[in-house]
Chain A
Amino acid sequence: MEKRILKDDNDRVDGILKVTGQAKYFAEYELPGLTYGVLVTSTITKGKITALDTKAAEKAPGVIAVISHLNKPSAPAYEQEGGPQMKIFYTDKIFYNGQPIAIVVANTFERATHAASLVKASYAKEEFNTDFEKALKDPKAKKLQGQADYKRGIENAYKTAEVKLEERYFLPIETHNPMELHGIIADWRPNNQLTVYAKTQGVKATQGTIANVFKIPMENIQVNSEFVGGGFGMALRTWPLEIATVMASKHIGKPVKVVITRMQMFTMVGNRPAAIQTIGLGANKDGKLTGITHRAYGETSTYENFTEGVVNMAKFMYQCDNVNTTYAIVPVDLGVPIWMRGPGEATGAFALESAIDEMAHALDMDPLDFRIKNDPETDQQKNKPFSSKNIKEAYKIGAEKIGWSNRKNKPGSLVEGPWQTGYGVSIGVFNANRGKASVKGILKADGSLLLQSATSDIGPGTGTGMTLIANKLMKIPVNKITFELGDSSLPPAPSQGGSATLSTVGSAVNDVCVALNSAIAELAANSNMDATANFIDVLKKNNLPQIEVTKESQGGKERDSYSMYSFSIHFVQVKVHSLTGVVKVSKIVSVGDSGTIVSPKTARSQMLGGAVGGIGMALTEESIIDHRYGRYINNNFADYHVPVNADVPEIDVNFINKPDPYINPMGAKGMGEIALIGFSAAVANAVFNATGKRIRTLPITPDKILA
């Protein structure tokens, strides 16, 4: 990576590269002899391929090969029994509409695209169902346990409470839709050597998956993924389309590049599954919760099960002696889902945080008072104290900044012409993780520090965070520190997911810096230098061009004693047009409680992105399927509405910024997920406060307000 010009020490280390187009993304690599692959997809939803006519495609200009289940190269893992059901090109079965069934490789992208349109498949069709609600109602349809049932105290205690409610919440499919399209470049060389340029949240995971499918040693595979144009979870696995590309390269002995279309982004790389949830809440008249029941159903595919933490939050987020949860997954004939930012917790929080607001209303309490009254002192699920939690302080900061005192408890009270104003609040929470990672540090006599780890940066600013950790510990200016990532040959680190990178890799950076500092101190002492001597002088005096340290780092026993979570409070003000049903989010105040803020700018950006994603989840995003055909209706950027600038007001981001004493040496907890979790409920709650209308089906579009 090139040296960067930084305006201030908190700037993104790769900011200039990104805004000047110098940052190189996977699709931008030009390899000698590069060829282009385009995927042919099924046009039926379920059944079998009975014939595949590839003749016309093979004869089309520039076409090198058409690869399918009829002529695929060997992928030893797929030849064995068991393993995944949807083994690309190793099955003639169709599991969903839009499933890749062949790849056409040509010497230009345009020619491959044209030839792909000439491949004709014949099918034996079978009956199918893509409708989650229908499957849920059908007693014959499968329902699989997604998580062990949980019970604390009395089951369904809400039913006998002084004040009770039971409501159902619906979340449609959402599609990640990062700006960058998915794909991969695979270059299979003789002797089973493979180089790939990937869009991945984990270079080691990609390396491992490919090694496993093709049964070649990990060391034979080099995965590069220095820059990723957004992932939001969809790049947390190696998809069949990537395996297909590797197969294609193996088959033709040339590098193959695949970049899928925006439409294929809806069917090949997962989505946030639809969910139907019921929340039962009971409270006594004083506003103390006496029962919480959270029952959730999530969508999954027929060929692979997908589960996530939809009901996690209900178990500990409120002080309550009686809590029970269930979570089941329901297979439908769609592509398998995958975690999408905030994953299941964001799904669950929409329901739980809406219900909490509904209960406050039923009690005629200010929802903020109700929340504070039921704020847990300890984690009742794990029966442990929280490692750190400053929720009450966060509520206070946010309330002041949004102007909560202007809120009226009676819905529909603030009216100005056709516009009704409302305020809403919610909380987001996510496990504060720390995994295991290795980092190598090379301290040089020229005054620079090079840090390396096979972690990823899908946008949060991993390199910036790591640089700032090192900067603080070693007093080396940030422009003398380089952090290298996105390369599978570097010391191993986990995939970037679950808000864990800063905590996990940052700890290893910390350990490397501490070790380098003591190595310098030792050298100084041995060469009769002052203990405070500059490392450059120490290295020079010792005739050392550089010293090198590699550290593997992971947490210890602190998790046995403490419950570790990151929190965020979202306050929103909305304006709802009483005639047109248009909802405008007019003000946002987010307060993050995630320990020490190591990198203020990128942390703020996380919260900004979370709020924008939250507006999308609340007001605009929904992937629509015509269940008669099993096909998406709005699979493009004109019709799948992500929020635009005009939908987003100024976002006031605040941090508690107090170290967590236990989690890691920095005292920093992750915050990628909490930025989004709960946000949609804050909007729904504000809409209720503005209008008296409780919308339990997202997204809150004008038709739902008018209904």
Chain B
Amino acid sequence: MINFQYLRTTTAKSAIALLVKDKNAKFLAGGTNLIDLMKRGVTAPEKLIDINHVPLKQIEQIGNKIHIGALASNSAVADHALIKEKLPLLSWALQAGASAQLRNVATVGGNMMQRTRCGYFYDTEMPCNKRQPGTGCGAMEGFNRMHAIFGTSEKCIAVHPSDMCVALIALDAEVILANAKGERKIPFKDFHRLAGDTPQLDNNLKVDEMIIRLEIPVSNLAKNYHYLKVRDRASYAFALVSVAAAFEISNNKITDVRLAMGGVAHKPWRLTASENFLKGKEATLTNFEQAAQLAMKDAKGFGGNDFKLKLAPNTIIEALNLAKSKA
């Protein structure tokens, strides 16, 4: 722990200005992840820029898109009538995360930016390429029950722990980012990244940028949907595997389908091959099973997490079953 300066600002512009002034500055939103990391000595920012008073808490529909400000709390989003009605998958995913107390302070931007829960990452006495590049990956041959089965690298096999982000990638969300010069918009699927050779980077946010808001297209996925999270206890535990599933049926055929998984990769994992397979087909168990099998191509276990090779497809099937039975 080192001393740090606490700053507070009320506009995104000034927040960004403060950020670029100092390499070792960090935004403080709900603080539910950042403060823990500071307490454990994993990160030691010299400046904390409190952005909780920046007016980015909006949840509103503009045209056919729903806008959610980066500082809207997880519970405000989950409980919002608009979200419940039009994007219930997102509401469910949020409800499945953390605890009510945490969701009340955790923000959308913070949730996207939350770091892995890998135990080695949190313990500064153990090796971890994500925390300290070059020290090795403690989990690879250690305790890796919670770890990734897709898109892993030799350097890091951590998973992104968010539930919300699994729904967002399934819903084709877009992220609006801003730096001092202006805004840019990227698809949600391009926000997080795989570990590759730079496991220290969780995502593609640049050092001078701030997350401003999400834009999520309204779709016809509010009828047949389910967020299924498999975990070690019924609440307040990170996912072993989670699946966001939603589809639209017309004339007995699946016309639109979204599938994404959490707890399996360094980023929320969209199941494009499975989606393509299901499109135009009937919502039957056999088809669900085949879609689940397709999703598992290139999956790889590391010992402790081998069970996910079975759990993941099973969870996809069950999530699709439950989405189907919702109608």
* A and B from one complex: yes
Is B187 at the interface (CB under 8 A from chain A)?
A: no
Inter-chain CA distance A579–B232, complex, in Å, is: 15
Residue in B1, B125, B230 whose beta carbon sits within 8 Å of that of A580 in the complex = B230
Interface of B is mostly: loop
- Determine the distance from Cα of A81 to Cα of B146 in the docked complex, in whole angstroms: 48
Q: A113-B1, A579-B318, A645-B235 are in contact. Are A626 and B143 (CB under 8 A)?
A: yes
CA distance A624 to B145 in the complex (A): 11
Q: Interface-forming stretch among B22-30, B174-182, B275-283, B309-317?
A: B309-317
Residue on A nearest B305 in the bound complex, by CB: A703
Q: Give Cα distance in the complex from A707 to B306, angstroms.
A: 9
Interface secondary structure of A, over-half rule? loop
CB distance from A612 to the nearest CB of B (A): 12
Select which of B123, B125, B230, B235 is within 8 A of A582 by beta carbon: B230
Bound-state CA distance A114–B228 (Å) is 42
Contact of A643 among B123, B233, B307 (CB under 8 A): B233
CA distance A641 to B41 in the complex (A): 23
Shortest CB-to-CB span from A259 to chain B, Å, is 15
A628 at the interface (CB under 8 A from B): yes
Residue contact B126 to A626, C-beta cutoff 8 Å: yes
Whole-angstrom distance between the Cβ of B105 and the nearest chain A Cβ:
15
Q: How many A-B residue pairs have CB under 8 A?
A: 84
Q: Are B318's CB and A628's CB within 8 A?
A: no
CB of A117 within 8 A of CB of B1, answer yes
Q: For the complex, what is the distance from the CA of A643 to the CA of B232, rounded to whole Å?
A: 10
Known: A579-B318, A646-B235. A639 touches B117 (CB 8 A): yes
**Interface stretch (choices B63-71, B216-224, B236-244):** B236-244
| Residue from A114, A418, A703 in contact with B1 in the complex, judged by beta carbons closer than 8 Å | A114
> Is A479 part of the binding interface, using a Cβ–Cβ cutoff of 8 Å?
no
Interface string of A626-642 (1 = CB under 8 A from B): 10110101100011010
* Chain B residues, Cβ within 8 Å of A638: 117, 236-238
CA distance A468 to B44 in the complex (A): 55
Kindly report which residue of chain A lies nearest to residue B322, judged by CB atoms. A418
Q: Which residue of A lies closest to B310 (CB)?
A: A706
B138 surroundings in chain A (CB, below 8 A): 626, 629
Q: Does A107 touch B at the CB level, under 8 Å? A: no
Contact with A along B137-156 (1 / 0, CB 8 A): 01001110100000000000
Q: Give the shortest distance, in Å, between A252 (CB) and chain B (any CB).
A: 23
Assess the B126–A418 pair: CB atoms within 8 A: no
CB distance from A110 to the nearest CB of B (A): 8
Nearest residue (CB) in B for A701 is B232
Q: Which of B120, B307, B315 has the most CB of A within 10 A?
A: B307
A661 to chain B: closest CB distance in Å?
Answer: 43
Contact, CB under 8 Å: B317 / A579: yes
Q: Note all chain A residues with C-beta closer than 8 A to B120.
A: 626, 633
Which residue of the partner chain, among A641, A644, A706, contacts B314 with CB atoms under 8 Å?
Answer: A706
Q: Contact: A641 with B119, CB < 8 Å?
A: no
Given contacts A117-B1, A641-B237, contact A633 B318 (CB under 8 A): no
Residues of A within 8 A of B230 (CB): 580-582, 702
List 6 contacting pairs A-B, 8 Å CB cutoff, sorted by A: A43-B125, A582-B230, A629-B126, A634-B119, A641-B237, A702-B232
Q: A638-B237, A702-B307 are in contact. List 18 more A-B contacts (CB 8 A).
A: A418-B321, A577-B318, A580-B230, A580-B311, A581-B230, A620-B232, A629-B125, A629-B138, A638-B117, A639-B117, A641-B233, A644-B233, A644-B235, A646-B235, A647-B233, A647-B235, A701-B232, A702-B230
